[in-house]
Structure 1
Amino acid sequence: MIVRFLVSAPALAVALAISLSTSALAQEAPPPDTDQPTSAEAAATPPAEPSEAERFRAFITGLRPQALAAGVNPQTFDREVADLTFDPRVVRADRGQPGGGATSPATPSIGINFAPYRRTHVEPVRIGRGRSRYGSLRPQLSAIEAKTGVPESIMLAIYGHETGYGTFTGNYDILRSFATLAYEGRRRALFTAEFIDTLKLIDRGFPRSLLKGSWAGATGYPQFLPSTYLRLATDGDGDGKADIWRSEPDALASIGNYLTNAGWKPNVPWGVPVVVPSTFSRAGIASPLASPRCPRVHVRLSRWLTIAEWRAKGIMIAGAPVPADNEMATLIEPDGPGQTAYLLTTNYQAILDYNCSNFYALSVGLLADEVMRPAE
């Protein structure tokens, strides 16, 4: 038996309307977005790499515990790092130095002649300005020499070499320079320590706007690193504060204190020009020592003998003042055989401690001699 279901006309119309509406919606709905990642795919997608600025910021803020442990005021740290940015000029300057690459060795100075350097660093303008400044600074210089034993002329010559007797001290923000160099990482421990020491200077009342210097962070008239300032800066004008940025007496006293700390011996010349005879045998005068500091500079220096022993070997003194016969000295021939050479005392080593370059130390000694020489 067949059972038939009868549907009324109105009900059939409603059912057809619903069916047609559902079909239309299905056709109008967009297809699934196949580009949308699933939750599993989203979790597997690595986050975007942080920018250079973000990495720099993270590194600097990460130094906060170390700075505070070293005694930096928390407010000082937070205030001074708030606007710090990476300085690409500093990195370019650092990498442009001999040995500045991450893997390249320091370029040796062996074989490079001193004469061109001397012509640009012990020249009439610098000599004349030194003589003029000596006249105005002599009261301070003589007092420092009496206290330290460091000659007035040596302190003045370093002042002249470092900043042109105070005419240029650098315009880099040294806090930014140290932050950049520490972040760059080639000598991270060194520059992190100097960064923190710069914050200590700010804590001592020296505003950051005053702390300008070279790209490498040397600052003030003597071009001290902040760590050097904290160890050796000296009050030379009696106001209770060692201000090497604005006080020449403080700067000169600090230079004298530095050289004293480096072992300067009073009443001993830095060295003297000599003539090495063409028959001189260099066999056996090479130094048996290897310096732990800037060895490529010290390798140019001979073994140590007394002035009397050098004379006995035929070395002829060609200048003044002459070290005593029992004074120890080392020989350097900066322009090679046949040119002016020098016998250098331990006080030359003190100048090298200030700036480990034979050309620099020779120029300081020679400028000091010229400044004290009466003008013709």
Structure 2
Amino acid sequence: MWGLPKTLTILGAALALLGCGMPVAPAHAQDDSSFQSFLAQLRVQARSEGVSERTLDAVLPSLTLNQRVIDLDRQQPGNPASTAVPPYAPYRIAHVDAQRISRGRAAYQAQRWRLRKIEDETGVPESIMVAIWGNETNYGVVMGGFDLPRALASLAFEGRRRALFTEEFIGALKMIDNGVPRSKLVGSWAGATGGPQFLPSVYNRLARDGDGDGRADIWTSDADTLASIGNYFVNAGWRRGQPWGVAVNVPAGFDRSQVVNRMVSPRCPRVFQRHSGWKTMAEWRALGITSQSRSWPPDNVLATLIEPDGAGNTAYLLTGNYRVILDYNCSNFYALSVGLLSDAVAQ
């Protein structure tokens, strides 16, 4: 009796033995029945948000519950009991590796004529767009194989994040309404799709046509993928001409109490609590922070300090553009890897 509380299973068996005429349906059958009832509710909501009957009739009858995506969602970490933060170095080695850098440089050179045009229009560096592409899908190689409408409807049904996944499910239906073939709607178990791994709501807002064919095809068009990433960064507030950050050395004996961040971010607080307070580059230099390269942002640029591997190891001064990378994926390890891959690709 998978899926039912043990007490209810025993009760059902006892009633059947007593001849009460109450057969107990298998739990998966009950789940499927409940799922179909839930789809009826989704139909009403989607219709109220403008989704056509044509799309509803084409998609909803084909959907069945995908327990696999529910299991994957439940395996996601919550708030761990330990507050210890693992070192960044192992993640960096795995995500800013020689193969990813080599493939990124090849993609960078092959797409330069397109990338240059996008950077001129948006101010987003060519190498940043390539680094996002590389981190998300290994430059379009790994984009996921889950059917998005089925996955998103299943996650909405499960209920842990119902509002989010209901919005994304209806967003996927709107994509179909707007001409995206159903066959294109495959991706990660959590609903991200295409080269940039956009959720449907993000695709509907920010996907762009980069090759001039009138479609935003982020699945097979590299130009559209890169233009869409650039547009996302503009929308998130990328500042033209400002780097994401710089690798630095922190002097021995540095008094970290003088740069403590006393603000609590309403978004991703565990991510931002690892950052120091804001100071200008000139102020950081005056405190003895030195760059590991010849590059150094202008003195008036504000930055925060992060030491992802602890004192005595490479640290980073992070500008406001680093926060834009965090908007794409709110993880310091992810954002640092994008920045470092971007720097390596552009060399």
Paired residue for 2:71, among 68, 86, 92?
92
Residue 210 of structure 1, CA deviation: 1.0
User: Percent of pairs identical after alignment?
Assistant: 57
Equivalent-residue separation in structure 2 for 1:106 and 1:112 (angstroms): 12
1:161 corresponds in structure 2 to 135
- 8 Å CA contact 1:108, 1:296 repeated in 2: no
* 2:158 aligned with 1:184: yes
Change (3 A) 1:265 1:106: farther
Change (3 A) 1:54 1:320: farther
Q: Which amino acid aligns with 2:256?
A: R
Residue 119 of structure 1, CA deviation: 0.4
* 2:253 aligned with 1:279: yes
Q: Which amino acid aligns with 2:279?
A: L
Equivalent-residue separation in structure 2 for 1:208 and 1:82 (angstroms): 14
Residue 320 of structure 1, CA deviation: 4.7
RMSD over aligned CA atoms reads: 1.9
Q: Which amino acid aligns with 1:304?
A: W
1:208-243 C-alpha deviation (Å, 9 max, x unpaired): 211110000100000000000111111111112211
Q: Which amino acid aligns with 1:164?
A: N
1:75-101 C-alpha deviation (Å, 9 max, x unpaired): 2112201021111110111111111xx
TM (norm. structure 2) is 0.91
* 2:149 aligned with 1:149: no
Residue 279 of structure 1, CA deviation: 1.1
1:166-185 C-alpha deviation (Å, 9 max, x unpaired): 11110000111100100000
TM (norm. structure 1) is 0.84
Q: Which amino acid aligns with 2:278?
A: W
2:327 corresponds in structure 1 to 353
Q: Which amino acid aligns with 1:272?
A: V
Residue 321 of structure 1, CA deviation: 3.0
2:40 corresponds in structure 1 to 61
**Structure possessing the higher radius of gyration over alpha carbons:** 1
Paired residue for 1:343, among 317, 321, 326?
317
Change (3 A) 1:340 1:304: same
* 2:185 aligned with 1:206: no
- 8 Å CA contact 1:109, 1:297 repeated in 2: no
Paired residue for 2:90, among 116, 120, 127?
116
Equivalent-residue separation in structure 2 for 1:273 and 1:36 (angstroms): 74
Query: Following superposition of structure 1 onto structure 2, how do residues 1-376 of structure 1 map, counting pairs within 5 Å?
Result: 51-99=30-78, 105=79, 110-373=84-347
Q: Which amino acid aligns with 2:324?
A: A
Runs of 4+ with deviation above 6 angstroms: 45-50
Change (3 A) 1:306 1:115: same
Equivalent-residue separation in structure 1 for 2:90 and 2:47 (angstroms): 48
Equivalent-residue separation in structure 2 for 1:47 and 1:90 (angstroms): 26
> Where do 5+ consecutive residues of structure 1 fail to align?
1-34, 100-104
Greater fraction helix: 2
1:5 corresponds in structure 2 to none
Equivalent-residue separation in structure 2 for 1:109 and 1:135 (angstroms): 42
- Choose 330-339 or 50-59, whichever is displaced more: 50-59
**SS in structure 2 of the partner of residue 272 of structure 1:** strand
Q: Which amino acid aligns with 1:303?
A: G
Equivalent-residue separation in structure 2 for 1:211 and 1:47 (angstroms): 37
Equivalent-residue separation in structure 1 for 2:118 and 2:276 (angstroms): 32
**SS in structure 2 of the partner of residue 182 of structure 1:** helix
**SS in structure 1 of the partner of residue 169 of structure 2:** helix
Q: Which amino acid aligns with 1:327?
A: V
- 8 Å CA contact 1:169, 1:214 repeated in 2: yes
2:14 corresponds in structure 1 to none
Equivalent-residue separation in structure 1 for 2:288 and 2:206 (angstroms): 41
Residue 284 of structure 1, CA deviation: 3.0
- 8 Å CA contact 1:269, 1:322 repeated in 2: no
1:24 corresponds in structure 2 to none
Equivalent-residue separation in structure 1 for 2:275 and 2:120 (angstroms): 31
Equivalent-residue separation in structure 2 for 1:62 and 1:265 (angstroms): 43
**SS in structure 2 of the partner of residue 51 of structure 1:** helix
**SS in structure 2 of the partner of residue 284 of structure 1:** helix
**SS in structure 2 of the partner of residue 242 of structure 1:** coil
